Structure 1
Amino acid sequence: MRLSANTIAALLFAVLILRLLDLYMKLMYHAGAAMEGIRKRNKLGDGCYHVFLDVGSNIGIHGRFLYEPDLYPDSTSSVAQFALEFGYPRDNSLFCVFAFEPNPKFSKRHRDLERAYDAMGWRYKFIMAGASNADGNLTFFHSHLVDSEMENGFSALTSKTLYGTDATSRTVRIVRLASWIRNEIEDRVIPAQYSNEVSKPKVVMKLDIEGLEFKVIPDLLTTGVLCKNIDLMMGEFHYAPGNHNYYPINLTSDGRHILHNRNEGKSLSEQMLRLLDISEHCMTNIRLNDDESYPTDPHDLPPLNISVPVR
């Protein structure tokens, strides 16, 4: 049977369309894979087996507790807690530390830690920002210790009423911690060479943010970020007798919810902990400890020109 010229042309056109469609589907597949690769490479947590989030890191001593525990035998809790979670001795190349600290006074210290640990092959990332329940800027106040080696009073919830007339203010960047964890840590890429590790990947967070935990933790809970991503949260709630000057704490931008005093702060803390305790679907462990055994660092950083084998 002879085909007409029009029929042949139609068949050739159909074949061309099918080939173009096949080519289009292949291009879309590879483009999707490429975009997925770009998305994954953009996560700061990619390549990290274990993650330690040091939120409110001050001078970064907890990062040293993790990487160099033998230097700090007088640690009251954190060195021992790291040993329970990650074992001891441990391979430091499995870890990434992300240190959040808004106080510009300590930025050089953290940059020095980044360089020193990078020379050792250990990942340490300084994020010069405070943690809150929204992205933006916030006014923090320095204590009268601003010019000393130790300053534990850099907070957005206190002012000259606590720090005295010589207190100074500073506007700093804040990040919504729940969003940051979701964007940078959740579903991070774990390299194939770690597939034989006995312990599962973990995320441990230390939270010491001078009263802002009353904003951050509810946000972590209601977004599901805490229970999905954090294996252990260490830290403190600021409702002790010495914290009375943190109050009142405005929990919402419209002023509808206020913690008027530390008793209300304690009550909210207990309610949040109870919610975590009764949930059968939240595996996050909580350790209320405030390890301030080393307010200053007695040890030099590892020298940049010397590296040692990772244990």
Structure 2
Amino acid sequence: MEISASMVKELREKTGAGMMDCKKALQETEGDMEKAIDLLREKGLAKAAKKSDRVASEGLVDMCISEDGTKAAIVEVNSETDFVAKNAEFKTFVSDVAGMVLSSNVATVEELLASNFAGSAETVQETLNSKIATIGENMNIRRFAKFEGQGTRTVGYIHGAGKIGVLVELKTDASAAEVAEVGKDVAMQIAAMNPKYISRNDVDQEYLEHEKQILTQQALNEGKPAEIVEKMVVGRLNKQINEVCVLEQSFVKNPDVTIAKYIDAEAKKLGKSIELVNMVRFEVGEGIEKKSEDFAEEVAKQLKK
């Protein structure tokens, strides 16, 4: 039976499910609208769609690192509430997703969602929809990153039971065990201080010019003489660069040394070079605008349903 656009539109309006999911359901049920609705409900797609406009700004960050430290993946999966983020089923799902990213060649979230879920005939998206229907909250896989360099070791750190996750990639001839401690220290520094860059060489010119303009205007507003403003700005800009570049930051555990000097000292102890070449820091919900609704209004909405 030919499935018309109007049939797909009608099913979408009745269930709130996606266009392709509606078309597929109608094809499987040979155009029977009621059976298609039941099919979407059984798969959790109708329920998932109805929850899709609800903000998911809580959740977990998790990671998976190969035993030798040569490969690593980090993911952020969001839920609506912190309560669900502590749910064992949710935690297992996030862990499984991290393992999938590590073992697959997916490059985008869309590719990940379309791939088969670990040990299942269902796609990751279908499995996620089932979780949404079962747990009762909107959830989504927001982002992931993967390290797979040559001659590198990756070390990870999870803070706050999954609220912040950091991976650091170190170029070294040392084994994963040999750089585990220094890698964790650097990852903890990044978790705490949230630097934008690794070193001064990574700072882009646009950022420098922008900050220079702001600092110059600040100095002028303070009434400083124009002839010394430039020198002041150079000093203040250098201080700011030290704050946004992890290698220039004072080591939290020992403020007398920078992270760069700490890494160098550890490399000398080990007798092998260690260079921080990559980092990624995920914090749950960062950048997501959270809805703030009045509780009484929310109850009223529920009563009207």
* TM-score when normalising by structure 1: 0.23
Structure with greater contact order relative to length (CA < 8 Å, sep ≥ 6): 1
Higher helix share: 2
TM-score normalised according to structure 2 size: 0.23
